[in-house]
Structure 1
Amino acid sequence: MITVKILLDSVEKVKNFTSSINNEEVDFEIIEGMHIVDAKSIMGIFSIDLSKPLQLNIHSDDRRILDKIKDFIIE
């Protein structure tokens, strides 16, 4: 499993992020506090606080996925 921090602080970023990962065959979870949402679900993402960085869990060891979402990853 790969875990990174991402920032999705605009509607456009959420749309671009979900379209970047929707064709992947692995599960993605966003964790915000005690909430866990499916990262492929636009409605799920909008149900959490997007003003601060979020933890993204990718249920894969294929680091090539990170290239697709590099614009959203923060250090």
Structure 2
Amino acid sequence: MTKLQIRMRQVDQVKDFVDLLSKYPYEMDLVSGRYTIDAKSLLGIYSLDLSNPLTLVIYSDSCEELLTQLHALLPDCIV
């Protein structure tokens, strides 16, 4: 399992984020406070408070390619 703090500041980033995650077979969640949603759910992400950092939980230990693509997509990504 890999955890990563991310921040999405623009609406376009949310769609690109979901499109990227949908290419990978493993399960992923986004956590904001006490709320946990499927990270591949566009509507779920829009229900969260995007002004605060979110925790992306990736249920795989071999996700280096995804992490590289996330850093390119979200420059504000915090490891």
**TM-score, normalisation: structure 2:** 0.88
For residues 36 and 59 of structure 1, the distance between their equivalents in structure 2, rounded to whole angstroms, comes to 14
Structure 1, residues 44-74: CA drift from partner, whole Å, max 9, x if none?
A: 0000100011000001111222012113222
For residues 9 and 49 of structure 1, the distance between their equivalents in structure 2, rounded to whole angstroms, comes to 11
User: Hey, what does 2:53 align to over in structure 1?
Assistant: 53
For residues 24 and 38 of structure 1, the distance between their equivalents in structure 2, rounded to whole angstroms, comes to 13
Aligned pair count reads 75
**Unaligned runs of at least 5 residues, structure 1:** none
- Structure 1 runs (4+) deviating above 4 angstroms are none
**Unaligned runs of at least 5 residues, structure 2:** none
**Comparing both structures, which one devotes a greater share of its residues to helix?**
2
Task: Name the SS for the 2:51 alignment partner.
Answer: coil
Cα-Cα RMSD: 1.1
- Please identify, of 33-42 and 63-72, the stretch whose mean Cα deviation from structure 2 is larger: 63-72
Identical positions, percent: 33
